[in-house]
Structure 1
Amino acid sequence: MSEDERIDAFSAEPLHSQLTTIIRNNILTDRWPAGEKIPNQQELCKKYEVSLAVVRQAVEKLVSEGFLLKRQGKGTYVMDPRIRQGPRKLTSLSQELTARGAKVGSEILDSRVEASGSKFARIFDLTPDEKVIRIKRLRLMDMSPLGIQTFFCPERLFPDLLKKNLTESLYGLVENHYGYRFVSADETYTAIIISEADCKLLTVEFPYAGFYVERISRGADGKAIEYTESIIRGDKYSVLIHLRK
């Protein structure tokens, strides 16, 4: 057994929490591949030298998080709840999740019109007196919090956007209602520790690792149509880069 798989009986962290972390890391690092049956509860007790109650708590926690799946009469199996992001067409998160068969949802956290400021004046090529629309949403995948997205766009391009159903795909609204077509985008990914406030929204315990993603999408004329900041749980998202020589 490697050092990072050992339970510390003298730690202030509860035993079930330590075991949950160990099993979750085994899944995220592919030590336990998706689809594989995990050891039964008695075997886990023996391997990690903990009680059956500790094992049950850890397993139930990981089932609720989507890392494990219980199959009646067959055992418990590894699931990979992450969206593996790799080379792809320009799509919205809603389109991405729907294509994977996931149920998509959104909760509106904030929506307003505000001054553009120097940052958005530069991105959208706005005059100092022009404003931007800001829509902050909690994004859900299969009813579980996946990330927090804050969408910005020029108010003059999308009048009355705040009166629309903002729980729907914003890309869909922009393209279908306003007639703008997204043709390109630039994304920047940064690994972060999610803030305590955002951890509460994402129903995870602080400190928690995640991604901070910035996207600028452009129309056919090359001008920016939208800018989105996303904070995404690291256990539900990964970035796959394909390299060729």
Structure 2
Amino acid sequence: MSSPVYIQIHNQIKKDIEAGVWAVGDRIPSERELALEFNVSRMTLRQAVQTLVEEGILERQVGAGTFVARKKVQEKMTGVTSFTELMEEQGKKPSSRTVSYLVTTPSLSEMERLKLKDDEKVLRMERIRYADEVPICFEVATLPYSLVKDYERNQITTSLYRTLEESGRKIGHAQQSVSAQVASERIAEYLNIKRGSAILRLRQITELGDGTPFEYVRTQYAGDKFEFYLEK
């Protein structure tokens, strides 16, 4: 099973950055130039670049272009973020709409973060998460397929953490990072906000109780509907 074209482009750009083709802070070629180089449509190229932006590898600067991202100062947050439990604690009804649900070959980033072998597959799903029917965030979650292949789809999309715990798997630690960005046209449509609105981006790698990473999530929260609370 071959990866989608945009993932193949994502992998090549990531390899080029790691090989020093572009250094931190460098501006990468325009979408038009890259689309010609890879012989794909600008829409496909834009999807590959947006995936790298969501992972914090690239960053967009309005009016200037797309650059290799600088490392950001990180603030440690306590606890594992579970959207379903978080909403229920606040007296809101959580729900979600699945945009895509695909068993596929992992990207290089997904392989690294989930410590997968070359022949392993992943489940990659995109969801819009709601609180009392109001769209709060757009989430891309990648899971080792071997971990979830015996579960029903609704068990995974409704509340993965609860499903795992009910089957005897303990949720362990999570590594989280939060940064700011502006909403793309696609995300703005999903979250019912204006394009260019403030977005809080969370990247999280979650482990099972034995330290095995089982979830790599990239979530974009509507800035006017959600805030992170940090405890020290």
Shared fold by TM > 0.5?
Answer: yes
When residues 226 and 87 of structure 1 are mapped into structure 2, their CA distance, relative to the original with a 3 A threshold, is closer
Q: Which runs of 4+ in 1 moved over 6 A?
A: none
CA contact (8 A) 1:94 1:104 kept: yes
Give the drift of 1:90.
2.5
170, 176, 184: which one aligns with 1:195: 184
Structure 2 residue 171 is the aligned partner of structure 1 residue 170 = no
Q: Runs of 5+ in structure 1 lacking a partner? A: 1-85
Deviation at 1:99, TM superposition (A): 0.6
Amino acid at match of 2:178: Y
Match of 1:121 among 105, 108, 111: 111
CA change 1:236–1:205 in 2 (3 A) is same
How far off its partner does 1:103 sit? 1.1
Amino acid at match of 1:183: G
Q: What's 1:219 paired with?
A: 208
- 8 Å CA contact 1:117–1:128 kept in 2: the answer is no
Counterpart of 1:146 (choices 131, 136, 153) is: 136
Question: Following TM superposition, by how much is the alpha carbon of 1:119 offset from its aligned partner in structure 2, in angstroms?
Answer: 1.6
Work out the percentage of aligned pairs sharing the same amino acid: 25
The 2-side partners of 1:161 and 1:114 are apart by 17
Provide Cα deviations, 1:158-212, integer angstroms capped at 9, x if missing partner: 21345334441111122223x3211110111010101011101111111210111
Q: Secondary structure at the match of 1:121?
A: helix
Aligned residues: 157
What is the distance in 2 between the residues matched to 1:91 and 1:196?
26
Deviation readout 1:24-79 (Å, 9 max, x if unpaired) = xxxxxxxxxxxxxxxxxxxxxxxxxxxxxxxxxxxxxxxxxxxxxxxxxxxxxxxx
* Secondary structure of 2:181's aligned partner: strand
Residue 114 of structure 1: CA displacement?
Answer: 1.0
Deviation, 1:230, is: 0.3
8 Å CA contact 2:77, 2:176 repeated in 1 = no
2:225 paired residue number: 236
Unaligned runs of 5+ in 2: 1-75
1:212-239, Cα deviation, whole Å (9 max, x unpaired): 1101111122120111110100011122
Give the conservation status (yes or no) of the 8 Å contact 1:150–1:230. Answer: yes
Distance 1:242 1:159, change over 3 A: closer
Q: Decide whether aligned partners of structure 1 residues 91 and 239 sit closer, same or farther in structure 2, where only a CA change above 3 A counts.
A: closer
Structure-2-length-normalised TM-score: 0.63
Q: What do residues 68-118 of structure 1 show as CA deviations (whole Å, max 9, x unaligned)? A: xxxxxxxxxxxxxxxxxx965324111011011011110111101110232
Matched residue of 1:168: which SS? helix
What RMSD, in angstroms, separates the aligned Cα atoms of the two structures? 1.9
The CA distance in 2 between the partners of 1:175 and 1:133, in whole Å, is: 19
The match for 2:61 is: none
Give the direction of change, closer, same or farther, for the CA distance of 1:172–1:192 in structure 2 (3 Å limit). Answer: same
Instruction: Measure how far apart 1:122 and its partner are.
Output: 1.6
- Write the distance in 2 (CA, Å) between the matches of 1:195 and 1:162: 32
| TM-score under structure 1 length normalisation | 0.60
